[in-house]
Amino acid sequence: MMEVSSEFDQKLQALIVPMGMTNVVLPQSMVAEIMATSTVRPIPAPAWVIGLIEWRALEIPLISFEALCDEQAVISTQKPARRVAVLHSCVASEALEFYAVQVSSIPHPVRLGEADFQVLPQERPCDVVAERVIAAGVRSVIPDFHTLEQHIRSVIE
């Protein structure tokens, strides 16, 4: 029988997801699907909320993580994102079981252990970023999912 090393058990399966000028580290367990953008239905909301999309017979909010962090970020309505990442909400809520974030390129799967992270001492750019890091050699941010989902719930409820 083969033994599994304790180092293997300590690694997080994650995706490094390009979102415009920012890379975001997401645990794979939060990602329900990476898919082509469907039709977006605009709703009256802040600029970082792109609208609602249909996913598996549900209407879920589509947001721009970059625009939420940087009000100067431009969200193109002329060229909508080609891909979105549908995420499970980490806080149980009937109002927000899933939501989607705009993705600018194909995410990269990685296995991350403690040695694969370097926390950057820079200031957090906004309240939805828990940490700035270099993960597996890529400058990235780790989201504060609770704060991010609070922002989304405040708009859709």
Q: What is the per-residue DSSP string for the chain?
A: -PPPPHHHHTPEEEEEEEETTEEEEEEGGGEEEEEE----B--SS-TTEEEEEEETTEEEEEE-HHHHH-TTPPPPSSS--SEEEEEE-SS--SS-SEEEEEESS--EEEEE-GGGEEE--SPPSSTTEEEEEEETTEEEEEE-HHHHHHHHHHHH-
In a domain, 65, yes or no: yes
pLDDT in tens, 99-108: 999 999 999 9
In a domain, 62, yes or no: yes
In a domain, 7, yes or no: no
In a domain, 55, yes or no: yes
In a domain, 60, yes or no: yes
Q: What pTM was computed for the model?
A: 0.86
Least confident of 6-10, 27-31, 138-142: 6-10
In a domain, 133, yes or no: no
Total count of domains within the chain: 1
In a domain, 56, yes or no: yes
pLDDT in tens, 31-57: 999 999 878 999 999 999 999 999 999
pLDDT score at 103 = 93
Range of the domain at 56: 15-107+146-156
Average pLDDT over every residue of 74-92:
73
In a domain, 116, yes or no: no
- Provide the CATH number for the domain around residue 88: 2.40.50.180
